[in-house]
């Protein structure tokens, strides 16, 4: 019984700390990631919003995952390619933001993450 109480207490403390991290610099530098969901000329919509900590002026690095297929067992099937940078113009809501392409050839479905 005591072992169960310790486990539940640990879980509650861990979840509380994890929730507190959402507003911390650690979260922004290591977790804030999303995807380009739409493009209109030089503006993109990314699925990173206020709930993720997105703010106007933040820069996001853009990556593309390219399928290559494994040649040998244990090889990675994808290659990650750096594409460019986008800067958040405005946060639309909890889940989305509008950004302008600062550099690179950004396409729909590219991955974005907070610039480190």
Q: What is the pLDDT of residues 25-68, one digit of tens each?
A: 554 445 678 999 999 877 999 999 998 889 999 999 999 998 87
Please state the pTM of the whole predicted model.
Answer: 0.67
Q: How confident is the model at residue 116 (pLDDT cuts 50, 70, 90)?
A: low
Question: What pLDDT sits at residue 21?
Answer: 46
Question: What pLDDT sits at residue 28?
Answer: 47
Spatial CA neighbour of 3 closest among 31, 19, 11, 90: 11
3-class state of residue 71 by DSSP: coil
Cα separation, 116 vs 113, whole angstroms: 9
Q: Give the ranges where 1-116 is alpha helix by DSSP (H).
A: 2-21, 25-30
Q: In degrees to the nearest 10, what's the CA dihedral of 71, 75, 78, 80?
A: -120
3-class state of residue 48 by DSSP: coil
CATH class of residue range 33-114? mainly beta
């Amino acid at each position: 019984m005591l072992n169960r109480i310790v486990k539940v207490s640990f879980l509650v403390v861990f979840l509380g700390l994890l929730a507190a991290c959402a507003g911390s610099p650690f979260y922004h530098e290591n977790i804030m990631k999303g995807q380009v969901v739409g493009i209109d000329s030089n503006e993109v919509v990314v699925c990173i919003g206020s709930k993720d900590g997105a703010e106007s002026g933040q820069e996001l690095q853009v990556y593309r995952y390219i399928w290559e297929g494994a040649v040998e067992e244990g090889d990675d099937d994808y290659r990650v390619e750096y594409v460019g940078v986008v800067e958040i113009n405005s946060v639309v809501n909890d889940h989305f933001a509008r950004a302008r392409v600062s550099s690179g050839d950004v396409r729909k479905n590219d991955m974005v993450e907070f610039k480190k």
